[in-house]
Amino acid sequence: MKKTMKIMSNIISTLLIMTLIVMTFLVISSRASGGEPEIFGYQLKTVLSGSMEPTFHTGSIILVKKLDEAGELAESDIITYLQENEQLVTHRIIEVVQQGESVLYRTKGDSNENPDTNLVLSENVVALYTGVSIPLVGYVLSYAGSPLGVAILLIAPGLLLIGYSIVTIRQAVKEIDAKTKALQASEKGETVS
């Protein structure tokens, strides 16, 4: 029984510490990058609309690889690009259009009936979808960017870890007290119940 409790205690401690580390990374990274966390040229983007369903759903996060140049993009690639209003959009390329020296892309959301009205300049393509999507985590990421989110996502795991440490210390103290009483009783020749 004690061995099982020790294993459970180690698992809980590890999970709390990992949660604190992940939350710290998400909060710091989202604050530093101005919204979405980024690591090794990959960035997490939050899906804000249903235009790409069923490929990925609203509230999901998607992993994209940042591109310095659009390079060799092809039909059916899913790209994140900058619109004229400085808003990022992630849609699928349905046609590659060559206009003289320039390469343009006709895009469309998977659930949209019609293609997007404007062609995308290759210079406006900022990232390529990697195929990784995690449902619902985008809501947490968006929340992590807010001041209240920062406080809750950093403080809550920390408080849980402190609380768990207090419980563990109290249990250790009780065990030490019981052993001390048993030792004192055995020295006196008494039995302790």
**Active-site annotation holds for 49:** yes
| Helices 2-33, 137-144: inter-axial angle, 10-degree rounding | 60
Q: Tell me the pLDDT tens digit for each residue of 118-163.
A: 999 888 999 999 988 888 877 776 776 677 877 777 777 778 778 8
Q: What is the average pLDDT value for the chain, to the nearest integer?
A: 82
- Of 109 and 9, the one with more pLDDT: 109
125 contacts 67 by C-beta, under 8 angstroms: yes
- State the pLDDT at residue 90: 93
pLDDT-derived band at 106 (thresholds 50, 70, 90) equals very high
Given the residues 49, 102, 146, 186, the one annotated as active site? 49
83 contacts 95 by C-beta, under 8 angstroms: no
Strand order in the sheet with 125-134: 38-39, 42-46, 61-66, 125-134, 78-82, 88-99, 102-108, 120-121
13 contacts 163 by C-beta, under 8 angstroms: no
Q: Does the pLDDT at position 193 exceed 60?
A: no
